[in-house]
Amino acid sequence: MKKRIFFILVFAQCAGSVFAQSEAEFDSIYNRFQIEEVEVTARALNKDIIVPQTLKGEELQRLNALSVADALRYFSGVQLKDYGGVGGIKTINVRSMGSQHTAVYYNGIQLGNAQNGQVDLGRFSLDNMEEIQLFNGQKSDIFQSAREFGAAGNVYLTTRKPYFLPNEKVHVHAQMRCGSFALANPNVGIDVKLTDGLSLTLDAEYVYSDGKYPFRYRRVLPNGEVAYDTTAVRQNGDVNAVRAEIGLHHYYRTTGFWRVHAYNYYSERGVPGAIVNNVWKNGERLWDRNSFVQAQWQDEWFNRWSTRLLVKYANDYTHYQNYDIKLLPSNNEYLQQEAYLSFANKVQIFNWWDMSVAYDYQYNTLKRDEWVSGLTDQRFDRHSHWLSAATAFNVKEYLRLQASVLMTSISNQQSAISVQPKFTPGIFASFRPYPKIDLSLNAFYKQSYRYPTFNDLYYTDLGNANLRPELARQHSVEVAYRFSNDKRQTTNDFGYELSFSASYYYNRVTDKIIAYPKGQQFRWTMLNLGTVKINGVDAKADMSFYLPLRFVLRSRLGYTYQKAIDVTNPNDTYYGHQIPYIPWHSGSVVAELDWTSKRGDHYGFSYSFIYVGERYSQQENIIYNYVQPWYTHDLSIYGEWNVHPCRLKANIEINNLLGQDYEVIQNYPMPKQNVRCTLAVKY
């Protein structure tokens, strides 16, 4: 056993000792190993100065979740905006600072959307996802690209990495998922070991759903009598999407690593729209193509100096058409291109002192054609430069400190205003009072800017080219505690791994970019107007209990309290009110009971519960804007069997078990009870 752990360790070291996600990678491999071998060993002490929330491996695959967005609902401090259905837009808002303060990274490089700054996480499949991590503030490791220091919240998506046991050359993964609302979702993945260090991964997926789910509006009079009770079927919510990815990984010597990854996503979907009086159907259609190629190279010299180079080219096309003759006819096309380069270096000065410097450059361009209004061939471009310096040092075992400063300089070619570089600092500390107990007290302060998007600046009639970036200041303290029983000798012994953490944070967002009515009627403009004060508490617990007879009980609890109030102007009627769509209370529970047979088959049962408390749909906290809490219970059962030489998996999920009629966003009804079945074969 020890030997195999050692092998994995060495493998992980080779693969990524200097790679940003080395620890995560190590964990994921290690974790997988554990699951397969049903062996519990003490984990290394948590070295993260910023403890991320992580979902990975089997746990991630067994969640009642179809997309990355569904999985992120289980993280504390995260609010998901979900317009409903497979095709509905899903974005996240971390700690109430606004979705544009959250950066999403795909295998280490940020996904961009210079047009509106939002990444639709509903489009990212979980099927080839190995790990999802959320870091508040920034990632622990100072060896990162400059731009990564720039966001307030960071979500890292890591796709499956190939790994081969000796004598293995090919892994194949094929999966079919079907479900309610005509969901059909086949997925195939192939990993090939080309040489000892070089491997290739391919992954392709297709998703179809007609999106025709029933929904119900029922209202009662104050005396309890039914005022109306109407059921209808969501229309124009179909989605048709294809994703294909190819990756080439190469590990060389013991320190070097490079990887090239190409991604292509194409979709056509209906935009089902808001359900309002007399309107039960809308006619907007959306076509998207997102393509990118990214490459990463890194190496280490003299055991002290690490270098990483990232390059990316992205080409995103969106076509929006409105077929609804009742509305403004639209036929708009948008083409965005992005070129990105990052060069990061880290030097270990002493064992206890690291420094890093990184420089990033990015070029964005948007071509906009609005065929109906005749505003065609509008072009906007932007050059961005980031320069970061960071340092980390450890005071013995007790204290870890990290400080970073980022200089951002963004110039929009079409803006007349002069560009002043912005400096944003971040300081992080982690104190571990007892060397043998995994208890840590963590704290950070960080500033970050959210830059205006092309839409904010240049949207026809609405944009304001004079916008300043929006500033978020975060203060956070955290207590984290982990303990586990590592005395298990046989699978019949009890064992457990528990981790708890609680954080309190205070954020302040100033110069918030919001739409505000212009002097003239019916017209809006974007303004730096708005200040939001956020006080919040996140608490979470991860508990795994290893029971006799090879039973494992895993549970995950999360709770978030947020008071996010508008403090822009004491004369506003909504001064001091909770900002829209932020619930005071929210939380989730996941519990999973897994049983392993003697020959390594798995059977399990998983339950999850998500709760989002009462909130308001607009700035004023008045009864006309009140939105009720919603909560869903999801169940799934699964089995995994070894059928030499394959491993078979089957999973049946029932979502929204009690069929609650709820809305995350007002007038966008969510699906009632629905079912998904998955069958997968792994070779």
Partner 1 sequence: MYFSRQILIGCWLLALSSWLFTSCRKDEVIYPTIPTNVTDEVQEGGLYVLCEGNMGSNKARLDYMNLETGTYYANWYGAQNPKQVKELGDVGNDIAVYGNRLYAVINCSHKVEVMDLQAHRIGQVDIANCRYLAFHGDKAYVSAYVGSLADPDLLGSVFEIDTATLQITREVKVGHQPDELCVVDDKLYVVNSGGYLTDRYDSTLSVIDLASFTEIEKIPVGLNPTRIRKDDHGHLWICCQGNYKDILPQVVVYDRTNVLKRIPTPCANISIYGETAYIIDNEAKTVKTISVENYVLSPFTFHLSPSYENPYGLLATKDALYVTDAKNYVSSGVLHCYSYDGHERWQAVTGDIPGHLCRVGEAMQTDTTDTINHYTSYIQHVYEYMPAMGQFVNILPKYEEGDDAEAMIQKCEKALANNAGGTVTLGGWGGYITFGFDHPVKNEEGRDIRILGNAFYMAGSTEYGSSEPGIVLVSVDENANGLPDDTWYELKGCLYDDPTTDHAFSRTYTRESDTIRNAFHDQPYYPQWLTADAYTLYGAKLAPQSVTISGQNVQRILEFGYVDNKPNTDLEGTSFDISWAVDANGNAVQLDSIHFVRVYNAADEILELTGELSTEITGAIDLHINN
Q: Which two tokens stand for residue 218?
A: 């029922």
d(CA 479, CA 256): 36
Tell me the closest approach of the beta carbon of residue 148 to partner 1, in angstroms: 33
Q: Quick check: 498 binds partner 1 (CB under 8 A)?
A: yes
Nearer to partner 1, 299 or 572 (CB): 572
Single out the residue of 22, 331, 414, 666 in contact with partner 1 (rule: CB under 8 A).
666
Which one of the spans 98-106, 189-197, 199-207, 605-613 is the region binding partner 1 (CB under 8 A)? 605-613
CA atoms within 13 A on the CB side of 113: 22
Site string for partner 1, 169-188 (x = CB under 8 A): --------------------
Single out the residue of 167, 418, 489, 573 in contact with partner 1 (rule: CB under 8 A).
573
Q: Which residue has the tokens 């996140």?
A: 538
- Cα torsion at 17, 19, 22, 24 (round to 10°)? 180
Near partner 1 in 120-159, by CB under 8 A: none
Single out the residue of 327, 395, 419, 437 in contact with partner 1 (rule: CB under 8 A).
327
Which one of the spans 39-47, 444-452, 593-601, 622-630 is the region binding partner 1 (CB under 8 A)? 622-630
Nearer to partner 1, 9 or 220 (CB): 220
Q: What angle do CA 549, 552, 556 make, to 5 degrees?
A: 165
Q: Quick check: 214 binds partner 1 (CB under 8 A)?
A: no
Q: Could you tell me if residue 2 is left (phi over 0), alpha (psi between -120 and 50 degrees) or otherwise beta?
A: alpha
Q: Quick check: 496 binds partner 1 (CB under 8 A)?
A: yes
Q: How many residues at the interface with partner 1, by CB under 8 A?
A: 75
Burial class (CB in 10 A: 0-12, 13-18, 19+), 130: buried
Helix, strand or coil for residue 512?
coil
d(CA 370, CA 140): 44
Q: Quick check: 629 binds partner 1 (CB under 8 A)?
A: yes
Tell me the closest approach of the beta carbon of residue 523 to partner 1, in angstroms: 7
Nearer to partner 1, 221 or 416 (CB): 221
Q: Quick check: 377 binds partner 1 (CB under 8 A)?
A: no
Tell me the closest approach of the beta carbon of residue 657 to partner 1, in angstroms: 15
Tell me the closest approach of the beta carbon of residue 624 to partner 1, in angstroms: 6
Which of 167, 236, 176, 230 has its CA nearest to residue 207? Answer: 176
Near partner 1 in 397-416, by CB under 8 A: none
Q: Which residue has the tokens 């892994």?
A: 171
Single out the residue of 374, 377, 396, 570 in contact with partner 1 (rule: CB under 8 A).
374
Near partner 1 in 527-556, by CB under 8 A: 541, 543, 545, 553, 555
Tell me the closest approach of the beta carbon of residue 71 to partner 1, in angstroms: 19
Helix or strand (DSSP H, E) at 12: helix 2-16
Near partner 1 in 503-532, by CB under 8 A: 516-524
Which residues on adjacent β-strands are paired with residue 67? 125
Q: Does the bond joining 469 to the residue before it have cis omega, within 30 degrees of 0?
A: no
Helix, strand or coil for residue 68?
helix
Tell me the closest approach of the beta carbon of residue 362 to partner 1, in angstroms: 30
Report the first-to-last Cα separation within the chain, whole angstroms: 23
What residues contact 7, with CB distance under 8 A and at least 6 apart?
A: none
Q: Are 248 and 192 in contact (CB under 8 A)?
A: no
Q: Quick check: 437 binds partner 1 (CB under 8 A)?
A: no
- Cα torsion at 21, 651, 63, 110 (round to 10°)? 40
Which one of the spans 196-204, 401-409, 472-480, 606-614 is the region binding partner 1 (CB under 8 A)? 606-614
Nearer to partner 1, 182 or 591 (CB): 591
Q: Could you tell me if residue 216 is left (phi over 0), alpha (psi between -120 and 50 degrees) or otherwise beta?
A: beta
Q: Which two tokens stand for residue 616?
A: 């308001």
Single out the residue of 624, 643, 644, 645 in contact with partner 1 (rule: CB under 8 A).
624
- How far are the Cα atoms of 33, 251, 532 from residue 9, in angstroms, in the given order? 11, 15, 46
Single out the residue of 47, 383, 473, 585 in contact with partner 1 (rule: CB under 8 A).
585
d(CA 538, CA 478): 9
H helices present in 420-538, as ranges:
454-458
d(CA 375, CA 64): 44
Tell me the closest approach of the beta carbon of residue 184 to partner 1, in angstroms: 30
Nearer to partner 1, 351 or 520 (CB): 520
Q: Which two tokens stand for residue 638?
A: 């699964």
Near partner 1 in 269-298, by CB under 8 A: 273-279
Which amino acid is located at 110 in the chain? Q
Q: Quick check: 357 binds partner 1 (CB under 8 A)?
A: no
Checking 226-234 for CB contacts under 8 A at 24+ apart, the result is 232/275, 232/280, 234/84, 234/85, 234/272, 234/669, 234/671
Q: Are 72 and 155 in contact (CB under 8 A)?
A: yes
Tell me the closest approach of the beta carbon of residue 273 to partner 1, in angstroms: 8
Q: Which two tokens stand for residue 70?
A: 């569904």
Q: Quick check: 587 binds partner 1 (CB under 8 A)?
A: yes
Single out the residue of 44, 170, 220, 417 in contact with partner 1 (rule: CB under 8 A).
220
Nearer to partner 1, 428 or 662 (CB): 662
d(CA 323, CA 476): 48
Q: Quick check: 337 binds partner 1 (CB under 8 A)?
A: no
Q: Quick check: 325 binds partner 1 (CB under 8 A)?
A: yes
Q: Quick check: 369 binds partner 1 (CB under 8 A)?
A: no
Q: Quick check: 622 binds partner 1 (CB under 8 A)?
A: yes
d(CA 427, CA 79): 25
Tell me the closest approach of the beta carbon of residue 524 to partner 1, in angstroms: 7
Tell me the closest approach of the beta carbon of residue 462 to partner 1, in angstroms: 10
Which one of the spans 203-211, 378-386, 597-605, 620-628 is the region binding partner 1 (CB under 8 A)? 620-628
Single out the residue of 372, 417, 419, 650 in contact with partner 1 (rule: CB under 8 A).
372
Tell me the closest approach of the beta carbon of residue 221 to partner 1, in angstroms: 6
d(CA 400, CA 328): 57
Q: Quick check: 329 binds partner 1 (CB under 8 A)?
A: yes
Q: Quick check: 461 binds partner 1 (CB under 8 A)?
A: yes
Nearer to partner 1, 247 or 530 (CB): 530
Single out the residue of 350, 436, 571, 599 in contact with partner 1 (rule: CB under 8 A).
571
Nearer to partner 1, 32 or 585 (CB): 585
Near partner 1 in 244-263, by CB under 8 A: none
Q: Quick check: 492 binds partner 1 (CB under 8 A)?
A: no
- The pair phi, psi for residue 481, each rounded to 5°, is -140, 135
d(CA 42, CA 108): 28
